[in-house]
A and B are shown apart, each in its own frame.
Chain A
Amino acid sequence: MNGVHDMGGMHGLGPIQAENEEPVFPERWEGRAFALTLAMAAWRKWTLDGSRHQRELIPSAEYLRMSYYEKWIAGLVELLVKSGLVTSTELERGKAVLDSPKAAPPLTADKVLPVLAHGRPASRDVSVLPRFRVGQRVRTRNMHPTGHTRLPRYARDKLGTIDRDRGVFVFPDTNAHSLDEKPQHVYSVRFGASELWGEQGAPQDAVYIDIWDDYLEPA
């Protein structure tokens, strides 16, 4: 979707405020918000792409106003209700509905380190033919889906060159909506800064973007 989260190339979003010694979680609730999001993801009721998309659905003005983990919590609350793990009545009251069965959490303390160490690979060991090869000139599609996508607006309808084939990965545009994983090749594509930004790009510079097969056409 063409949301404000897709902000590559925008002007006017203020100066970078680089702090070097900030704590990992400057406020305690931020750590809790982070951990709640990871712990609830362990239920596997939604995908990582789905949780990204949920945060993208935060209305643009609020998205820009919210701090980082506020967005995480806002997204999590919506996913909890959509998935049926929590009802809106329970959220309203802050209490479990009486006689609702008590669940057993999938992520217990003893599993945290092994789960983190294993991760959740997005690659798929399936045989899919690549439509493009390294060195080939390609053009990104001029596409504006209303759902989730990982082709940034600044890189649509642009010419680039395939630099690497990264292998086969799930496709965010379908995976986010719990549809088919649609595994396909992802390529590292090199775009000259002048192709992306015209005179504002330094001709010697480049942006490398990981691009799914479905986002590309032969040039």
Chain B
Amino acid sequence: MAFLAKMKAATNTPAQKPDHHHHQAIPSEVALRVKALESLLVEKGLVDPAALDALIDTYENKVGPRNGARVVARAWVDPAYKERLLINATAAIAELGYTGMQGEHMVVVENTPKVHNLVVCTLCSCYPWPVLGLPPVWYKSAPYRSRAVIDPRGVLREFGLQLAEDVEVRVWDSTSEVRFLVLPERPAGSEQLSEEALAALVTRNAMIGVAKVTLPQPGGHS
């Protein structure tokens, strides 16, 4: 089992920081091993390399947080849609064409002036792929997974969000195949904006619950 042993040993190189990425000029040990594994699986006819390209292209270029932002903006402008979304999120999200892998069982939780929702997966990295794409590194990493449930207010402060004491924080731990999307509050002063302009304001972090949606500051560059 030398290859297996090496596969594990490859992770012991000091250059690999836990759950953090950096860019190396020379292919890393793990990059070479993944390449070798792919070659073997292709040689055996177990995988189609074009399918791998298509999978990567899907999550790099097609499926991402813009999908979720469209769901949120629709809910802000269309009260009947919002009602459907809160009752049966999977079906309502499918109305906009977003379905499938890691979004088979969707639940949307609504932020209000008195309730703030935050999503985590303490046991692994569960995340609603069809509406948010693949999770960012911080969401999958030990510091967030460990702290979000025990110290959500501290975590939110680190993301720049200070909540009043009278706001109830609800943390959703994604232990089952249910996937959560936060419906953020529509920002004050956005009444004149079109659905499309509203969608452009909605960030990935707001749909995880570590941020609020804000209007760009006049003269600012966000």
Contacts and interface: CB of A to CB of B under 8 A. Distances in A.
Interface of A: 5-11, 13-20, 22-36, 38-40, 43, 48, 52, 55, 62, 64-68, 70, 73-74, 76-78, 81, 85-86, 88, 90-96, 100, 102-105, 107-109, 111-113, 115-123, 150-152, 154-155, 166, 169, 186, 188, 193, 196-197, 200-202, 204-212
B197 to A, nearest CB: 21
Contacts of B21: 22, 26-27, 30, 67
Contacts of A65: 11-12, 16, 18
A46 to B, nearest CB: 14
B19 A39 contact: no
Contact of A207 (B125, B136, B171): B171
Interface stretch (B74-82, B99-107, B182-190): B99-107
Interface string B113-136: 000000010111100000001101
Contacts of A90: 40, 44
B72 to A, nearest CB: 18
Nearest to A26: B21
Contacts of A52: 123-124
A11 B147 CA distance: 7
Given A94-B3, A209-B175, A14 B11 contact: no
Contact of B41 (A19, A40, A193): A40
A24 B173 contact: no
B100 A210 contact: no
B53 A9 contact: no
Contacts of A113: 54, 58
Given A35-B53, A197-B150, A202-B153, 5 more contacts: A29-B34, A92-B3, A107-B47, A111-B51, A121-B104
B150 A8 contact: yes
A85 B99 contact: no
A29 B1 CA distance: 22
Contacts of A188: 107, 178
Interface in B17-57: 17-21, 23, 27-28, 30-31, 33-41, 43-48, 50-56
Contacts of B107: 188
A64 B56 contact: no
B189 to A, nearest CB: 23
B31 A19 contact: no
Interface string B156-182: 001100000111111111111110000
Contact of A16 (B17, B31, B158): B158
B151 to A, nearest CB: 8
Given A73-B34, A152-B173, A68 B3 contact: no
25 contacts: A5-B123, A5-B124, A8-B123, A8-B148, A16-B138, A16-B144, A19-B136, A65-B12, A68-B19, A70-B11, A90-B40, A92-B4, A103-B46, A104-B45, A109-B53, A121-B104, A123-B104, A154-B150, A186-B176, A186-B178, A188-B178, A205-B152, A207-B170, A209-B175, A211-B175
Contacts, number: 318
Contact of A119 (B34, B44, B100, B143): B100
A100 B41 CA distance: 12
Given A16-B138, A204-B166, A166 B105 contact: yes
Nearest to A204: B168
B201 interface: no
A92 B1 contact: yes
B40 A55 contact: no
A62 B4 CA distance: 14
Contacts of A211: 175-176
B56 A25 contact: yes
Nearest to B171: A207
B48 A108 contact: yes
- For the complex of A and B, the 3 pairs showing the least CB-CB separation, nearest first, are A8-B122, A210-B176, A109-B50
Contacts of A74: 7-8, 11
